[in-house]
Structure 1
Amino acid sequence: MLELKNISFHVTEGNSQVDIIQDLSLTVDNRKFVVITGPNGSGKSTLAKIIAGIEQPTSGQILLDGQDITNKSITERAQMGISFAFQQPVRFRGLQVIDLLRLAAGKKISHIKACDYLSEVGLCANDYLNREVNSSLSGGELKRIEIATILARKTNLSIFDEPEAGIDLWSFQNLIRIFEKMRAEIEESSIIIISHQERILQIADEIIVLADGRVQEHGAGKDILPKIMDTEVSMPMCRKFQ
């Protein structure tokens, strides 16, 4: 279980303090597929980075299964079972896909097992295992390879920051299929996705709506999504992928 207690995060711009996250508290239980949404500038990506350890909160406390991880680094949190998928996946010049999967798994995995992970995300293993994770790969290919590494890690908490960003319709449709499968196979782990795409919101167990760095709504997806869709001001943040 993930608990955020009175989390705040601010930055200084000139002589002014800008509050990005303001006294935010929430709980994400195990075995939940949670989508965090909200208008641009509401603090969604910052919150994801705070959970992953990329950013440190200005104040507040973060607990994972009852353990205080507030001051732990991104590496320490990764070792505890937290994965983070960037909005724009990192490219690794000179590193092959098979090597990346082995690094993610933390052990030497067979070609067959690596093929299984790539097949899970809709990639033909023979075409990708020995390719470099570089600019020769499209945004959609990188997204799916990144998800394959998270599957290989078998983490307790997987965080995806706007996974639909920069990919085409075909890749997005495959992304939805992957997330639907991950949701169906959740055991003790949890998944948090930062998104404002209706297709992703539709498969959420819970939806958290942020605005101005605060939680405006948090509840079952089936209850929150109709509110978002029926609120004229919120419509732009909950759009279909065209």
Structure 2
Amino acid sequence: MSFLLAQGMTGGYGSVDILHDCTIAVEKGEIAVIVGPNGAGKSTAMKAVFGMLNIHTGNVFLDGEDITKLSPQDRVAKGMAFVPQTNNVFPSMSVEQNLEMGAFLRRDDINKTIEEVYSLFPILGDKRKQNAGELSGGQRQQVAVGRALMTQPKLLMLDEPTAGVSPIVMDELFDLIIDIARTGLSILMVEQNARQALNIADKGYVLVQGRNRFTDTGQALMNDPEVRKSFLGG
């Protein structure tokens, strides 16, 4: 079984189903990306994996354990971390306070993890006393990811991590995502910049109307003529 296996998910909001028999899997140390057109159910699939909405059919397994019925907080305790697209930092708190908030479930010494985050994101170390709301968009995303890493997760989930940032910052964020995966962490990412995301992905999922349309390695999807024509601009 894959490290993360969200199998046959059908569900959505209230009585409206957005996902239809959707399956997402991620191996240890792998980058998996979910792409597709607007309204395809990409973020909904991510929220379903994290337990933020109910699925009537399907199951979610993490490291072989069925976590389908667990709350998001309980999933964090099991090793999941989720970075939403917006409102993902505490703007009136300092960078360091934001990181400390990420460790709210921990009862051990968090200072070593804070230093590891500063090593991964040196600019945050420089700005540790500055309020997160005063940072650039790319720096705020680093704070959000850093705060998620404070939980010492096994699976890091990123919803549109490059939304609203410049192309240069986007490239930097993708490089950092690769560096994080190299530490052995599994990453599941929803991304609107499909071409760039598939370029760094070990595995890619193309969703259309809440259903799996294509599943393959990132490179294979990049080279697939139908995927290129329909979803990558030719």
TM-score range, shorter chain: 0.7 to 0.9
Match runs of 1:37-116 below 5 Å? 37-105=35-103, 106=106, 107-110=108-111, 114-116=114-116
* 1:47-97 Cα deviation digits (max 9, x unpaired): 101111222223321111222211111100011110001111423254322
Secondary structure at 2:134 match in 1 = coil
1:40 alignment partner AA: N
* 1:15-35 Cα deviation digits (max 9, x unpaired): xx5431001234322221111
> Cα RMSD (Å) of the superposition?
2.3
Partners of 2:230 and 2:151 in 1: CA distance = 39
Match runs of 1:144-159 below 5 Å? 144-159=142-157
Partners of 2:225 and 2:70 in 1: CA distance = 35
Match runs of 1:18-33 below 5 Å? 18-33=16-31
Q: Is this contact kept in 1: 2:37–2:208, CA < 8 A?
A: yes
1:29 alignment partner AA: E
Partners of 1:113 and 1:154 in 2: CA distance = 8
Counterpart position of 1:192: 188
Partners of 2:17 and 2:227 in 1: CA distance = 29
Counterpart position of 2:8: 6
Partners of 1:124 and 1:5 in 2: CA distance = 37
Secondary structure at 2:20 match in 1 = strand
> What number of residue pairs does the alignment pair up?
228
Structure 1 position 131 matched with structure 2 position 127: no
Deviation at 1:116, TM superposition (A): 4.1
Partners of 2:119 and 2:225 in 1: CA distance = 35
Q: Is this contact kept in 2: 1:44–1:210, CA < 8 A?
A: yes
Partners of 1:143 and 1:4 in 2: CA distance = 26
Q: Is this contact kept in 2: 1:89–1:146, CA < 8 A?
A: no
- Where do 5+ consecutive residues of structure 1 fail to align? none
Secondary structure at 1:20 match in 2 = strand
1:132 alignment partner AA: N
Give the 3 Å change call, closer, same or farther, for CA 209–176 of structure 1 in structure 2: same
- Where do 5+ consecutive residues of structure 2 fail to align? none
Secondary structure at 1:153 match in 2 = coil
Counterpart position of 2:170: 172
Output the TM-score relative to the length of structure 1: 0.84
The structure 1 segments of at least 4 consecutive aligned residues displaced by more than 4 Å after TM superposition are none
Give the 3 Å change call, closer, same or farther, for CA 225–25 of structure 1 in structure 2: same
Matched-pair identity in %: 26
Output the TM-score relative to the length of structure 2: 0.86
Counterpart position of 1:120: 120
Matching residue within 209, 215, 218 for 2:215: 218
Deviation at 1:125, TM superposition (A): 1.4
1:10 alignment partner AA: G
Q: Is this contact kept in 2: 1:7–1:23, CA < 8 A?
A: yes
Deviation at 1:37, TM superposition (A): 0.7
Secondary structure at 1:50 match in 2 = helix
Q: Is this contact kept in 1: 2:30–2:186, CA < 8 A?
A: yes
Counterpart position of 2:140: 142
